[in-house]
Amino acid sequence: MGGHDLDIDKFYRWAMGDLVDNRNLGILAEWLVGQALGAIRDSEVRHEWDAYDLLYGEVKVEVKASGLDQTWPQDQPSKPNFNIAPRWRTWEAESNDWIEHDPPVRFADVYVFCLHKPEEANNENVRDPASWEFWVVSKQKLNDELSTQKTVGVATLNGRFGEPIAWSEIKDALDRCIDGSQQVSLQAEP
């Protein structure tokens, strides 16, 4: 059987058919945020291990995703935690360079935390942006509030960074976050 006989759509269904799966949920969340920001070109291909998930103008955006429901049986909803650990080393896909950080850093400029809310997740509601909640937080604010903390949960996001927003509000929130970070940086300079 030659490669030309393969149905590549069957591969996509096989590899990405379960959007609730943690890996696929994270990739879908990156795509949802990219669509909200207009940050994904039609010809663009996602890089799995890049130092950040999206580039919005010159702003590096990291997308973190979780959900209350999982693909395995649960007695109760999950307690989402998002990995925000500073890293010792990052790889930039565009330049194919490894960058060492001492001390470790959070490489992205802005973090978008995405929570899929339905307690009975399925491919239909995962695709619906209305079934998600989002928080947009600058790296500076994460560093100021959480220092070198490695994870953050929903209670901390709500308590320290405000109530979640809708998908349609991501771009405006990110723009405000960038403006606020630049103002803080400008004020901090002598």
pTM of the complete model: 0.88
pLDDT tens for the chain, residues 1 to 190: 555 678 888 888 888 888 888 888 999 999 999 999 999 887 777 878 788 999 999 999 999 999 998 888 888 888 999 999 999 999 888 888 898 999 999 999 999 999 999 888 888 899 999 999 999 999 999 999 999 999 999 999 999 999 999 999 999 999 998 887 644 433 333 3
Token pair in block for residue 29: 């969340």
Residue 100 lies in a domain: yes
Residue 2 lies in a domain: no
Which of 124, 119, 120, 90 minimizes the C-alpha distance to 107? 90
Give me the number of domains the chain comprises.
Answer: 1
Residue 7 lies in a domain: no
Domain that holds residue 118: 16-188
Residue 69 lies in a domain: yes
Residue 9 lies in a domain: no
Residue 11 lies in a domain: no
Residue located via tokens 């945020």: 33
What does the pLDDT read at residue 44?
78
Angle (nearest 5°) at CA 79 between 59 and 172: 30
